[in-house]
Amino acid sequence: MRFRFFIPACLIIATLALLISLGFWQLDRADEKRAIENQIASANSGDVELVTFVEFLKDKEYYHVRLQGSYIEGKQFIYDNQIVDQISGYYVLTPFVLKGASKAILINRGFMPWNGRRDILADIDIGEKLTEVKVQISKPLKRMELKVSETTRDFPVLIQALDLDEMSSIASLDFVSVVGLLSPESDDGYVRQWEPYTGSIERHIGYAIQWFLMALVLAFIGIRLALKQRKN
C-alpha cells in the first residue's frame, strides 16, 4: 500500500513544484515589464529627442521621438483588416525619409474606416515637403494570414500583414525594421488611438494567480489523499 501511494505522492509533489515555479516565473515577467515601463516613462517625461540617424531608431522601441525629413507620397500602403472601436477599416502607412538618410521609416498615420465602401479609398495624399513629425517607435509583428494575400505594385498598395522585407521590395526602398506611430500632436494624420505599453503586467499577474490557485487545489487534493491513506 505504501508503494502504491509513493508514486502518486511523487507526481503530486513534482507537479506542485512546477506550478509554483510557473507562478513565480510569471511574477518575474511582470517585474521585468514593470521595469521597462518605468524606464520608458522616465525617458519620455523630458524633452522629446530629435533622432537624425535611422539606425538609432532600432533601440528606441516605445519611445517618443522627433524626426525631420519628408514623406514619400507616391509609395503608400493600406494596411487592411483593422478594427478600431468595433469599426472596420485600415491604417495608412507612408514612407518617411530623414534628411540626408538613405533608409526610410514607415509612418503609420492612423486609422480610416471603410464606411461600407471598400471600393472608395479616403484622400490620403500628402505633400513631400520638408517637415517634422513626432512618432512613437514600434517594432511590427507579422500577424497570421488566413490566406496568402495578392499584393499589386500599384500604389497605394493594399497589404494584409506587415512584412517590411516584402514592402521594401515593392516600394524599392530600404525600410528600417521599425514603424513610427504618428503622434496625435502631429499633422497629416487620421484616427490615432495607440495602445500604450501597459496591460501585459496585469496579464502576467493574472497568470501567476492561476498557477498558484492550481497549486493550492493540488495541495488540498494531496493532503486529502494522504489523510485517506493514513486512515487505511
List, for residues 185-224, the tens digit of each pLDDT value: 888 899 998 876 656 788 899 999 999 999 999 998 888 8
The reply to whether 51 falls in a domain is no
pTM for the model stands at 0.71
The answer to whether residues 140 and 60 touch, using CB atoms and an 8 Å cutoff, is no
Select from 196, 193, 211 the least CA-distant residue to 64. Answer: 196
96, 167 contact by CB (below 8 A): no
For residue 21, pLDDT beyond 70:
yes
Domain residues for the domain of 103 are 63-196
Q: Is the pLDDT of residue 225 over 60?
A: yes
Classify residue 95: in a domain, yes or no.
yes
- Tally the domains of the chain: 2
Residue 79 has pLDDT above 90, yes or no: yes
Report pLDDT for 4.
65
**Looking at the structure, do residues 134 and 205 belong to the same domain, yes or no?**
no
- CA–chain centroid gap for 94, Å, is 19
Q: Do 111 and 178 reside in the same domain of the chain?
A: yes
